[in-house]
Structure 1
Amino acid sequence: MSKSFLALVLLESPATPNMVALAEAVRERHPGLPVDVDGGGEESARRDSPLIRCGNELVAVMAMPAPIPEDPGLWSRTSRTWPQAEAIAARHRGHLIVSVLGQNQPPLPTARLTTAVIGALIATMPQCCAVVWNGKVARPADLWLDLSNQSFAPFPDYPSSLWVDILPFRAEGGIGAVTTGLSAFAGREIQFETHKLPLSTLIDKVDGLAVYLIEHGDVVKDGDTFGSSARERFTVRHENSEQFGDLPVLFCSDSSE
């Protein structure tokens, strides 16, 4: 299971962040978080440092004067819920790489901190147009600006939709939904198939289980059950998905209910 995250902030035109302004924006948006630009020294040197210190962690923000590598599959998936995604991806001309430094970082605190810094970047840089989270999930900058205010919200109010995508699909005899991005928190994605539930209810159930796993990690064992009541329990199986290229999933179905 990956315990580090790499976020790419897409820019309409290449730009380098003012790290002093970034630190001020993080403080304003998250007053309880101690923040400083790493490096000390003269104001100009601090402003040019690629590192920002948040609490006990260092976050790197590196400016790249070029588009991100092409990933047609990512933007095709994203366009299902964000129709402008492919057009924005095609016209961006620079990007920022954002990542918490260090090895074996716990996923949830790292995701929270990275998200808080990205929100502050968007607040201080009008060039920001989109964010790609860990190579899996792409979202518009204005959504990031809004939801990143919840970076340190208590369970279950995390901005999890910035980290995990839930994609509906046609399943045999019904519909299904599969996550993308959850494996970084829990080791596997979720694949839930139903022939009883409407799509909105299916998405809600997958989202609820995903947020639980973001909070608790890899705790659902093969054969465990989950549900909102004793009458509504779904068995979870550890499988490699037949529909999605042997992707390791937590497979749930109500076909036997």
Structure 2
Amino acid sequence: MPVAAWIFADLLMSSSLLSLVLLDNPATPDMSAVAEILHARHPELAREPRDDAAAWQAQANSPLIRCGNALVAVMSMPAPIPHDEGLWARAASTWPEGKAVAARHRGHLIVSMLGKGEQPLQAARVTTAVIGALIATMPECCGVAWAGRVARPADLWLEASRDCFAPYPNYPFGLWVDTLPFRSGAKIGAVTMGLSAFVGREIEFVTGKLTLSALFDKVTGLAVYLIEHGSVVKDGDTIGASASERIQVRYKNSDAFGGLPVFYCTDDSV
């Protein structure tokens, strides 16, 4: 199997954080230029073992880039990404132009870390850094579809990805996870999209007590906790900021969202 085909197959099988960078027109990145921008934007990362000019030039068309101790693969595809109506419907509230961008783009890049050794948060940080460097060097970039769940414009990615190695609350959580409101009878709710790439489930939180703003704060706080610590909240646990606050968490397939695996949360009495 050719090296490029082997890398592509590994990406499809190994990474839940596989992301797609939309291109107005098909293009292949100069990976030596991407590496230079990557290390200028994130000097905390170790430089490639060989940094002489000849080595950089030889790696210009490589599908791989080293980011610290990790290898990230970038594959150029001369076709639009598969259409996902739900992805663009979710993006519409924060990126109204997204559907038009998706309709006009003609190529894309597949970006993912190779292997399964890194923790999901570190993998997200590294992949985000590489995508930011790609956008900085390729004017064709027009958007990013992150982990098949979250779509954001390229200019937002370029800016927010600078902070991908910052501690919470300064890292770009909003590039990775959408939080969407909904109604459940007389109650309100919020559901995440993108958290499952980190912990295998989304959060679905229904409340009859909280305001929408307070609900979003609860969902974001729980999502960040899970991203940083893994699936430490078990089926049937209760969580809360105080002894009097009891939020029950159940593992279930969502009734409201087509059987989506969720951490189902409610602040009804338990």
1:244 aligns with 2:257: yes
- Unaligned 5+ segments in structure 2 are 1-13
Q: Aligned Cα RMSD in Å?
A: 2.0
Deviation, 1:38, is 8.4
Q: Which residue of 2 aligns with 1:78?
A: 91
- The worse-fitting range, judged by mean Cα deviation, of 70-79 and 108-117 is 70-79
Instruction: Please say if residues 37 and 46 of structure 1, whose CA atoms lie closer than 8 Å, have aligned partners that are also in contact.
Output: no
Q: Which residue of 2 aligns with 1:112?
A: 125
Q: Which residue of 2 aligns with 1:214?
A: 227
| Map 1:1-257 → 2, pairs under 5 A | 4-36=16-48, 43-256=56-269
Give, in whole Å, the separation in 1 of the partners of 2:96 and 2:44.
36
- Unaligned 5+ segments in structure 1 are none
What one-letter code is carried by the residue in structure 2 that aligns with 1:207? Answer: T
What one-letter code is carried by the residue in structure 1 that aligns with 2:90? Answer: R
> Hey, which of these two has a bigger chunk of strand by percent?
1
Instruction: Please say if residues 130 and 141 of structure 1, whose CA atoms lie closer than 8 Å, have aligned partners that are also in contact.
Output: yes
Give, in whole Å, the separation in 1 of the partners of 2:202 and 2:155.
27
Moved over 4 A (4+): 37-43
Deviation, 1:77, is 1.5
What SS class does the counterpart of residue 208 from structure 1 fall into? Answer: helix
What SS class does the counterpart of residue 157 from structure 1 fall into? Answer: coil
Q: What are the Cα deviations for residues 155-206 of structure 1, in whole angstroms up to 9, with x where unaligned?
A: 3433121111111111122110111111221221110011222212111110
Length-normalised TM-score, structure 2? 0.88
How many residue pairs match? The answer is 256
Give, in whole Å, the separation in 2 of the partners of 1:121 and 1:43.
16
Deviation, 1:36, is 2.8
What SS class does the counterpart of residue 228 from structure 1 fall into? Answer: coil
Deviation, 1:39, is 11
Deviation, 1:103, is 3.1
Instruction: Please say if residues 15 and 112 of structure 2, whose CA atoms lie closer than 8 Å, have aligned partners that are also in contact.
Output: no
Residues 101 and 38 (structure 1), Cα distance of their counterparts in 2 relative to 1, 3 Å cut: farther
Give, in whole Å, the separation in 2 of the partners of 1:43 and 1:175.
54
